């Protein structure tokens, strides 16, 4: 049985619902040794800022129970190098490119989108308003409904490409952010970014991560991510990209049933760089075995 795996995120048509999450595959160079990037739905680039960012000093990561904390600090090559070197590479591979942008001011978001909008290879923007690991440009926006409204509105003014607002789970009202994003013209929201967490060494009494706190990702957060997707899906009529702890095709299908139109693979890439290809096989088989001819038919089929 042939299965139609394509899904739509607003006007963005994806071959299949599998995206590689921002910050977990760089700009595709290394992961392309394991994954045929032309075969999966798309790649979301590491958050790009106007100028290159060095990122946080080490130690940047630490393992936790079924999870990991990271405080990379949005280390990235900056807009210029991204355009010159990274975009052509991804274009050659034939992958669908979603560009994730992080900034320390509303103006910087706007300027980035303005410049990048010309790049044909970029098929959509994911606006990161939810990075917990930098003072400016992250959670400071993600936990402020008005800031998210403003950013969405301004960015919308600069591009007609699909805009995805990446939401923070570190608040009690993710629905308000999704609503405002929709209202200000976003095409979709992605949920979730990492949860704020920390870990200390009981002998040195120092935080294991130099930045003190980091963002928690991995299977540990899957129940929280699913609950956030469910919450948004119940209250707001906007496509949702589900993220958080997806390790295999079953997790992915769970997100779609709960309400996600597509999903992103993050931490799993570190442990099994082929995870996205295996998930592609897995969801295809799931559809075949359950005689689902279009995967988009399972979106939001939850029974509650």
Partner 1 sequence: MLIKDVFVQSNQKIAENTFLLKVNAEEYIPYVKPGQFFNIKVNNNSYPLLRRPFSISDVEGDSILFMYKVVGEGTRILANKVVGDQINILGPLGNQFSINESSNHVILIGGGIGIAPFPYLIKQLPNSVKYSVLFGVRTEKEVHSYGLKNILYSSDDGTVGIKGNTIELLDIHLKQIAEKDVKIFACGPNPMLKALQEYTNNKNIECEVSMESAMACGFGICQGCPIENKDNNYKLICKDGPVFNIRDIMI
Ligand X SMILES: Cc1cc2nc3c(=O)[nH]c(=O)nc-3n(C[C@H](O)[C@H](O)[C@H](O)COP(=O)(O)O)c2cc1C
222, 267, 276, 279: residue in contact with a second copy (rule CB under 8 A):
222
Q: Closest distance between ligand X and the C-beta of residue 153, in Å?
A: 20
Q: Closest distance between partner 1 and the C-beta of residue 248, in Å?
A: 10
221 vs 292, beta carbon nearer ligand X: 221
* Positive/negative CA dihedral, 48, 52, 56, 60: positive
> Is 112 part of the annotated catalytic residue set?
no
Angle at 23 between CA 7 and CA 285, to 5 degrees: 35
67, 137, 162, 239: residue in contact with a second copy (rule CB under 8 A):
67
Task: Draw the binding track, 142-181, toward ligand X (x: CB under 6 A; -: no contact).
Answer: ------------------------x---------------
- Residues contributing to the site for partner 1 (CB under 8 A): 23-26, 29-31, 33-34, 46, 54-55, 57-63, 65-68, 70, 72, 75, 218-219, 247, 267, 269-274
For residues 178-215, b (16+ Cβ closer than 10 Å) or e, as one string? bbbbbebebbbbbbbbbbbbbbeeeeeeebbbebeebb
Q: Closest distance between ligand X and the C-beta of residue 22, in Å?
A: 4
Binding partner selected for residue 170 from ligand X, partner 1, a second copy, none, CB under the kind-specific 5 to 8 Å limit: a second copy
75 vs 149, beta carbon nearer partner 1: 75
Of residues 62-81, those binding ligand X (CB under 6 A): 70, 72, 74
46 vs 123, beta carbon nearer ligand X: 46
1, 33, 54, 65: residue in contact with a second copy (rule CB under 8 A):
65
87 vs 220, beta carbon nearer a second copy: 220
Q: Does 46 bind ligand X (CB under 6 A)?
A: yes
Residue 262 in contact with residue 14, Cβ under 8 Å?
A: yes
With CB under 6 A as the contact rule, which of the stretches 4-12, 110-118, 152-160, 243-251 interacts with ligand X?
A: 243-251
Q: Which residues bind a second copy (CB under 8 A)?
A: 64-67, 69, 139, 143, 168, 170-172, 195-200, 202, 204-207, 212-214, 216, 218-224, 226-227, 230, 245, 250, 253-254, 257-258, 286, 301-304
Report, as residue numbers or ranges, the catalytic residues.
131
């Amino acid at each position: 049985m042939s299965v139609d795996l394509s899904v739509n995120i607003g006007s963005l048509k994806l071959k299949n619902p599998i995206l590689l999450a921002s910050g977990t595959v760089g700009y595709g160079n290394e992961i392309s040794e394991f994954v045929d990037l032309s075969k999966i739905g798309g790649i979301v680039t590491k958050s790009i800022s106007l100028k290159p960012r060095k990122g946080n000093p080490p130690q940047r990561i630490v393992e936790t129970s079924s999870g990991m904390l990271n405080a990379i600090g949005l280390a990235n090559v900056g807009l210029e190098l991204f355009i010159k070197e990274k975009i052509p590479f991804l274009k050659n591979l034939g992958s669908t490119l979603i560009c994730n942008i992080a900034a320390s001011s509303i103006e910087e978001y706007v300027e980035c989108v303005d410049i990048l909008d010309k790049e044909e290879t970029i098929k959509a923007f994911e606006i990161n308003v939810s990075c917990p690991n930098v003072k400016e440009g992250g959670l400071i926006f993600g936990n402020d409904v008005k800031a998210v409204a403003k950013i969405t509105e301004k960015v919308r003014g600069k591009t007609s490409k699909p805009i995805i607002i990446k939401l923070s789970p570190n608040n009690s009202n993710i629905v308000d952010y999704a609503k405002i994003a929709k209202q200000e013209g976003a095409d979709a929201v992605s949920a979730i970014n990492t949860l704020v967490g920390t870990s200390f060494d009981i002998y040195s009494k120092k935080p294991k991560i130099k930045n003190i706190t980091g963002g928690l990702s991995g299977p540990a957060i899957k129940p929280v991510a699913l609950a956030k997707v469910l919450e948004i899906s119940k209250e707001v009529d906007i496509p949702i990209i589900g993220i958080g702890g997806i390790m295999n095709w079953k997790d992915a299908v769970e997100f779609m049933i709960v309400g996600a139109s597509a999903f992103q693979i993050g931490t799993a890439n570190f442990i099994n760089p082929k995870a996205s290809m295996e998930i592609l096989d897995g969801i295809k088989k799931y559809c075949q075995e359950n005689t689902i001819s279009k995967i988009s038919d399972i979106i939001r089929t939850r029974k509650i």
